[in-house]
Amino acid sequence: MHLDVTSEAEWVEAVGTAVNRYGKLDILVNNAGMVLRKGIEDTSEADWDRIMAVNAKGVFLGTKHAIPAMRRAGGGSIVNISSISGMVAIGPPAYIASKGAVRLFTKVTAVQHAQDHIRCNSVHPGGVDTPMRQEGLADLSPGEHDERLRRVPMGRVGTTSEIAYGVLYLASDESSFVTGSELVIDGGYIAQ
22 is catalytic: no
Q: How many Cβ atoms sit within 10 Å of the Cβ of residue 169?
A: 15
Residue 26 lies inside a defined structural domain of this protein: yes
Residue 151 lies inside a defined structural domain of this protein: yes
Residue 115 lies inside a defined structural domain of this protein: yes
Domain holding 79, by residue range, is: 19-187
pLDDT at 2: 94
pTM for the complete prediction? 0.93
Residue 6 lies inside a defined structural domain of this protein: no
Residue 73 lies inside a defined structural domain of this protein: yes
Burial category of 74 from C-beta neighbours within 10 Å (exposed 0-12, middle 13-18, buried 19 and up): exposed
Residue 8 lies inside a defined structural domain of this protein: no
pLDDT at 11: 98
The string of pLDDT tens digits covering residues 54-68 is 999 999 999 999 999
Residue 136 lies inside a defined structural domain of this protein: yes
The CATH number linked to 96 is 3.40.50.720
Of the listed 22, 95, 169, 189, which one is catalytic?
Answer: 95
Q: What percent of the chain has pLDDT over 90?
A: 84
Residue 13 lies inside a defined structural domain of this protein: no
Domain total for the chain? 1
Query: What distance in Å separates the CA atoms of residue 96 and residue 82, rounded to the nearest whole number?
Result: 9
